[in-house]
Amino acid sequence: MNTLHTPTPPSPTLPTQPAVPLTLQWKRQPLPPLQAVQVLDFRAGDIALLEVEQGRVWVTCDGLLEDYFLEAGQRLSFTGPVRLRVSAEGQRPARLNWAQHRAVEGAAYPAAPSSASAPAATPQPKATAPTQGALPRGAISAA
């Protein structure tokens, strides 16, 4: 018995849009212990990216009830207009890298550059991870 075998054509795949890589100018913010809180202001339409390079950093956003505690390797982003207040948490120094950019749909956020002498940061689980949706103009993501 002869049977014809017709191969099934592969399913068409939709072309994927590559993420738009952003070129960000990161600023390194040293946060000595017991120093006054530092203020970072961002305009409407800006995205503020924060990434802790070293230590533990306290972040609060004017108008939000939540405070955020980030460990080395963790990041957080906010949509402007926003005023952030940051400081080292505890008795140890911390270092915060931050960048701002205009909102770009489909943007891929590169990691902040770390100093050559610092070991690669490993993200730690967060007990204080922000949530999306209920925050007015505040935190939009955490990793």
Q: What is the average per-residue pLDDT within 90-101? A: 94
Tell me the whole-structure pTM to 2 decimals: 0.62
Tell me what the mean pLDDT of segment 7-33 comes to. 67
Does domain 23-104 correspond to CATH entry 2.60.120.10? yes
HSE-CB at 125 with a 13 A cutoff on CA atoms is 1
Which range, of 49-53, 73-77, 106-110, 124-128, averages the lowest pLDDT?
A: 124-128
At 24, is the pLDDT very low, low, confident or very high (cuts 50, 70, 90)?
Answer: confident
- Rounded average pLDDT over 96-117: 68
Q: Which of 11-20, 72-81, 108-117 is predicted least confidently? A: 11-20
99 phi and psi, to 5 degrees? -145, 155
Query: Does residue 116 register a pLDDT over 50?
Result: no
Of residues 77, 28, 73, 23, the one with CA closest to residue 50: 77
**Taking all residues of the chain, what is their mean pLDDT, rounded to a whole number?**
73
pLDDT given for residue 137 in this prediction: 46
> pLDDT class for 69, splitting at 50, 70, 90?
very high
d(CA 124, CA 117): 20
Average pLDDT value for residue range 83-109? 86
